């Protein structure tokens, strides 16, 4: 890309251009605008949600992209979207009753409510209810609401699950957040120290690092972590600090496929792995239970500086 000589190059300009290019690559060519909802404060602060899975596919804060979406992500309303913030429900991980990570991320949501009346925030609520298809896999009636609230510098996500049936059920749920970074090896995550963790491929331990850094494959579930994590080196520029606060989402999953596993996935670019780290707030190390009429609420607030 060539730039006019009158433009003065700066870190801010670089961040804006990176965010613009990422947005253009994924939204203009591959994604049908009728499949998306844009929550907008102004041109520099937006959130885009794909109705397939109610997947947040972009969070632009002060002109910079905060989330990662693979260069090979598929937007065909058939396959889970590789990147952004997919919703995991009613099961995290392999599932004997249906697809891995459940059916929420491969189901079409509807818009339940929108509110843009405040000059300081904008909100949209997405809904999924039981259907003949979900009942075939999982014989329970439910109402799943996903609240997305955008403010200056912050994005709040809230999950509400209500048991609308006549029998109790249990589930796990998670916000599968793919954070964007310029170089994952320079990104650090605070708030995991002293937590027990399990490796996806076997093994367990206790986190000893004040700041977790990643330089190889990682797929860990940290149990009962601190209610706040701090990511230093986030955003498309790698210069952002994101503070992630959790409520009733006690666990944190950290994942990066690294080179070999990235190359084995058809919807993950071979060279994408240095630009992302999943830091996922969830309720996954034990199952949440709801009696008929009961409701579960869990939330996550991400603030970017």
**Residues noted as catalytic:** 176, 280
Q: How far is CA 253 from CA 181, 189, 210, 299, in A?
A: 17, 12, 17, 15
* Residues 138 and 173 sit within 8 Å (Cβ to Cβ): no
Cβ neighbors of 95 (< 8 A, separation 6 or more) are: 101, 102
For the record, the structure tokens of 166 come out as 């006549």
Nearest by Cα to 241 from 218, 271, 211: 211
Dist. CA 42–CA 45, nearest whole Å: 5
Could you tell me the two tokens for 226? 């601190």
Please give the structure tokens belonging to residue 222: 């940290």
**Residue 11: which residues within 8 A CB-CB, separation 6 or more?**
237, 239
Environment class of residue 35 by beta-carbon count within 10 Å: exposed (0-12), middle (13-18) or buried (19+)? middle
CA distance 114 to 177: 23
Residues listed for the chain: 305
Q: Identify whether the C-beta of residue 243 lies closer than 8 Å to the C-beta of residue 228.
A: yes
Find where tokens 């955008």 sit.
150
| 18 CB-side CA count, 13 A | 23
């Amino acid at each position: 890309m060539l730039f006019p000589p009158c433009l003065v190059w700066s870190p801010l300009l670089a961040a804006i251009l990176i965010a613009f290019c990422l947005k253009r690559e994924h939204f203009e060519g591959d994604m049908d605008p009728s499949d998306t909802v844009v929550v907008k404060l102004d041109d520099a602060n937006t959130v885009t949600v794909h109705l397939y899975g109610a997947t947040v596919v972009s969070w632009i804060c002060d002109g910079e992209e905060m989330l990662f979406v693979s260069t090979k992500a598929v937007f065909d309303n058939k396959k889970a979207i590789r990147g952004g913030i997919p919703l995991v429900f009613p099961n995290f991980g392999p599932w004997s009753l249906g697809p891995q990570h459940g059916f929420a991320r491969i189901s079409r949501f509807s818009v339940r409510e929108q509110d843009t009346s405040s000059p300081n925030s904008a909100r949209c609520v997405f809904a999924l209810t039981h259907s003949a298809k979900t009942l075939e896999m999982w014989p329970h009636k439910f109402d799943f609401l996903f609240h997305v609230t955008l403010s200056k510098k912050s994005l709040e996500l809230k999950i509400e699950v209500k048991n609308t049936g006549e029998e109790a059920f249990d589930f796990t749920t998670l916000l599968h957040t793919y954070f964007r970074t310029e170089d994952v090896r320079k990104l650090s995550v605070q708030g995991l120290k002293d937590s027990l963790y399990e490796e996806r491929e076997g093994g367990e331990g206790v986190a000893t690092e004040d700041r977790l850094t990643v330089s190889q494959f990682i797929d860990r579930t940290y149990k009962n972590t601190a209610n706040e994590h701090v990511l230093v080196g986030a955003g498309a520029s790698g210069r952002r600090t994101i503070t992630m606060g959790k409520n009733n989402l006690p666990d944190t999953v950290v994942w990066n496929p690294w080179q070999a596993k990235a190359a084995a996935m058809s919807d993950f670019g071979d060279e994408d792995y240095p630009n992302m780290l999943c830091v996922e707030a969830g309720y996954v190390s034990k199952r949440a239970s709801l009696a008929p009429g009961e409701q579960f609420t869990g939330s996550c607030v991400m603030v970017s500086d």
